[in-house]
Amino acid sequence: MRFRIHLILLVALIAFVPFRALQAEHEGKVQILLLGDSTTEGSVPRRHVPKGPHLEDVIRELLAAEPDLPPTNVINLGLSGEYIQRLLESGRYEKAASKLPGIDYVLIRYGLNDNSRRENVSENFPKDYHELIERLKKDHPSATLVVMTVIPYGDEAMCQRLNKLNEQVAKAEGLQLFDIYPRYATELKRGPDMLNYRRFPLAKIPENRREFVKPFVVAGANPTVEVLDNRLDAHFGHLPGWFGDRHPNLAGYHVIGDETAKFLAPLIRERFGKK
């Protein structure tokens, strides 16, 4: 009789614990790692709106809105100025990424800095990428690795060349390619500057307007005017280069986050969803 009561209590306890907590690999959550450059990190939006939500928050919250998915933990290790060779040779990969526990998915988005800082990019970018993937497979053998394309940034032909290389790497490694480029480009059709912040040298602001922009100045050796939206376009949109910085603002990261959640949801559902 006592055994039967214990059995009933055990069954009731199992029924009470959400299925999601039983299936995720680490601390009851699916672990998602983001690797990339400044367009992944989002340092300027973080400076202006520290509490976000930022890219990792958007992805996590959108996935949490799907009732049949387990909770997730999204780790953003993007870093401004980074390219794959520097990630590996600086030791940052080893220190920050190699020993993270229970990683289930790794989304990798590089290319823009590789193009400008790596010689012979058509040969060395894929070579560096293969080296990174080899490391990830060794350090996170249970993780699903995903190669991402770059977002529209600067010259379109350059972006398409990089994305062709991304596609070739994914195919050679037998990995999924997550093409974020088309969604971001489509959103830009609503307004070519709606997804990027404005960062402009203070020295190029007319002297009689420098007091006016004082609340938007970021101090430093070369002070800049920074604003995440279009509120100053009426005053300075005519200045050459005012729209030159193409890094995502918070709206841009919502686009990336939304498309990323849409990409991940079926993968997580298939692997961790309720049976």
Amino acid residing at 146: V
Other CB atoms within 10 Å distance of the CB of residue 184:
21
Secondary structure letter of residue 243 according to DSSP: T
Predicted pLDDT of residue 27: 79
Q: What is the pTM of this model?
A: 0.89
Mean pLDDT of 14-33: 57
Cα(97)–Cα(41) distance, rounded to whole angstroms? 15
What is the per-residue pLDDT across 86-142, written as a single tens digit (0 to 9) for each? 999 999 999 999 999 999 999 999 999 999 999 999 999 999 999 999 999 999 999
Predicted pLDDT of residue 274: 58
What is the share, in percent, of the chain residues with pLDDT greater than 90?
A: 88
Structural domain spans, the chain = 2-194+249-272, 198-244
Cα(239)–Cα(41) distance, rounded to whole angstroms? 28
CB-CB contact of 59 with 53 (8 Å) = no
Amino acid residing at 155: D
What is the per-residue pLDDT across 155-200, written as a single tens digit (0 to 9) for each? 999 999 999 999 999 999 999 999 999 999 999 999 999 999 999 9
| pLDDT of residue 74 exceeding 60 | yes
User: Is the CATH number 3.40.50.970 carried by domain 2-194+249-272?
Assistant: no
Of the pLDDT bands very low, low, confident and very high (cuts 50, 70, 90), residue 212 is: very high
